[in-house]
């Protein structure tokens, strides 16, 4: 693995690495996506050509980076990692592209945040395996077309809708990652516990899975907090009650909702009397970027039935009121 970006992708803690599966078989859950990807990789191996470009879409922490690394590993090719925000000028991307080896995987995280000029350069490179390199500066500058070896771009995005369609059209395979059901998270937690050497008693993984917000990254993070608890309390095995106590200390919601989720629900219920409220008003009220509210927070709240999106705006459901300990008929505006 070579890092080419000045800023490592998404300021990811190094600790994410030790829990990453390296082969498709070790990737837990998402069975349909895995089957599709397996076929895609098998075909590429049989044809002995680098596979088409792949787009991975879905909320943060669901395994996009992990899948990109698995693809490179399964194809036994190197992977280069960068991200949309790390590429400030088209030239940054041109220099990465022109140094790629044949068959190499180029992983671009947050690809929807590439500057426009870089986007254009990228889709030409993806389609024609060609890049125009600028030589010199000012009026004397010339562009030299450079032929690239075949390579595979894997783009990851939390906002597929923001990708311009010419770029989106260059991907031969788009995979949508969804939140993980509790049973899958349970398996993932058991796998991580084995890797980290944590002895979870029967029923403990379920308690962790319930609070993990459908997200592997959160599941692994909570597991580490539980490990701290077990170490400090000299536990040889972690019982379900230990999980509950440890996570209660960190104010982890039993439904897995985090601080922002709760702030959003609170705002809708308490300031807009349940809604409907527009995304911008809502985001301003909780002091977050509307992109974060829309891509990180809402998909989970909608999926779990706490929030619905209507043409007039976001509305809190009865389940949301109940979770906050309120009744929809309560007039909270007073
Ligand atoms: P993303 O790139 O979508 O933000 P990552 O690929 O970085 O998410 O995954 C976050 C963490 O969760 C990593 O430590 C990874 O090992 C783990 N993880 C994600 N998906 C899975 C999975 N399906 N099976 C096992 N571990 C996973």
> What interface predicted TM-score (ipTM) does this complex get?
0.99
**Mean pLDDT of the 298-302 span:** 94
Residue in the structure block whose two tokens are 């990692």: 81
The rounded Å distance from CA 108 to ligand 1 centre is 16
Question: Rounded to an integer, what distance in angstroms lies between the CA atom of residue 205 and that of residue 187?
Answer: 8
Q: What are phi and psi of 142, to 5 degrees?
A: -130, 155
Question: Rounded to an integer, what distance in angstroms lies between the CA atom of residue 273 and that of residue 296?
Answer: 23
Residue 65 Cβ inside 6 Å of ligand 1? The answer reads yes
Q: Which pLDDT score, from 0 to 100, does residue 2 have?
A: 46
- Kindly name the residue from 92, 109, 242, 261 that is annotated as catalytic: 109
Residue 188 Cβ inside 6 Å of ligand 1? The answer reads yes
Binding site members for DNA:
309, 314
80, β-bridge pairs = 2, 106
For the chain, what is the total number of helices (H) and then of strands (E)? 15, 10
pTM of the model: 0.87
Q: Which pLDDT score, from 0 to 100, does residue 258 have?
A: 87
The atom number, within ligand 1, closest to the CA of 66 reads 6
The rounded Å distance from CA 151 to ligand 1 centre is 24
Binding site members:
19-20, 61, 64-66, 127-129, 170, 180, 217, 309, 314
pLDDT top residue among 334 and 132: 132
Q: Which pLDDT score, from 0 to 100, does residue 330 have?
A: 59
Lowest mean pLDDT among 15-24, 49-58, 122-131: 15-24
Can you say whether the dihedral through the CA atoms of 221, 226, 232, 238 is positive or negative? Answer: negative
**Mean pLDDT of the 149-178 span:** 94
Burial class (CB in 10 A: 0-12, 13-18, 19+), 240: middle
**Mean pLDDT of the 246-254 span:** 87
Query: DSSP 3-state helix, strand, coil percentages of the chain (rounded to 5)?
Result: 50, 15, 35
Question: Rounded to an integer, what distance in angstroms lies between the CA atom of residue 221 and that of residue 213?
Answer: 12
The rounded Å distance from CA 213 to ligand 1 centre is 13
**Cβ neighbours, 10 Å, residue 182:** 16
Residue 314 Cβ inside 6 Å of ligand 1? The answer reads no
Residue 28 Cβ inside 6 Å of ligand 1? The answer reads yes
| pLDDT band at 4; cut points 50, 70, 90 | very low
**Mean pLDDT of the 174-189 span:** 95
Q: How far is CA 19 from CA 67, 189, 282, in A?
A: 13, 10, 35
The rounded Å distance from CA 137 to ligand 1 centre is 43
How high does pLDDT run on average in the chain? 91
| pLDDT band at 331; cut points 50, 70, 90 | low
* 64 catalytic residue (yes or no): yes
Q: Which pLDDT score, from 0 to 100, does residue 256 have?
A: 86
The rounded Å distance from CA 1 to ligand 1 centre is 17
* 227 catalytic residue (yes or no): no
Residue of the CA atom closest to atom 7 of ligand 1:
65
Residue 295 Cβ inside 6 Å of ligand 1? The answer reads no
Residue 261 pLDDT greater than 50, yes or no: yes
* 217 catalytic residue (yes or no): yes
């Amino acid at each position: 693995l070579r890092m080419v970006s000045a800023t490592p992708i998404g300021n990811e803690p190094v600790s994410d690495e030790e829990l990453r599966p390296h082969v498709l078989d070790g990737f837990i859950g998402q069975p349909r996506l895995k089957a599709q990807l397996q076929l895609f990789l098998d075909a590429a191996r049989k044809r002995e050509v680098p596979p088409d470009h792949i787009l991975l879409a879905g909320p943060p922490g669901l395994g996009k980076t992990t899948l990109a690394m698995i693809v490179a590993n399964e194809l036994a090719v190197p992977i280069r990692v960068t991200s949309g925000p790390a590429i400030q000028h088209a030239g940054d991307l041109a220099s990465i592209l022109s140094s790629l080896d044949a068959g190499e995987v180029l992983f671009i995280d947050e690809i929807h945040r590439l500057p426009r000029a870089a986007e254009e350069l990228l889709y030409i490179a993806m389609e024609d395996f060609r890049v125009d390199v600028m030589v010199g500066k000012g009026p004397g500058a010339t562009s030299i077309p450079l032929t690239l070896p075949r390579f595979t771009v894997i783009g990851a995005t939390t906002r597929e809708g923001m990708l311009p369609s010419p770029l989106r059209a260059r991907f031969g395979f788009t995979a949508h990652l969804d939140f993980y059901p509790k049973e899958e998270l349970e398996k993932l937690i058991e796998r991580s516990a084995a890797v980290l050497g944590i002895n979870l008693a029967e029923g403990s993984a379920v308690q962790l899975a319930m609070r993990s917000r459908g997200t592997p990254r959160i599941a692994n993070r909570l597991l580490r907090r539980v490990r701290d608890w077990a170490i400090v309390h000299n536990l040889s095995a972690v019982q379900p009650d230990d999980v509950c106590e440890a996570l209660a200390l960190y104010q982890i919601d039993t439904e897995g909702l985090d601080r922002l989720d709760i702030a959003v629900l609170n705002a809708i219920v308490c300031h807009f009397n349940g809604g409907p409220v527009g995304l911008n008003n809502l985001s301003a009220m909780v002091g977050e970027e509307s992109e974060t509210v829309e891509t990180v927070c809402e998909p989970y709240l909608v999926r779990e039935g706490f929030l619905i999106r209507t043409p007039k705006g976001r509305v809190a459901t009865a389940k949301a009121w109940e979770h906050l300990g309120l009744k929809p008929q309560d007039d909270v505006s007073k």
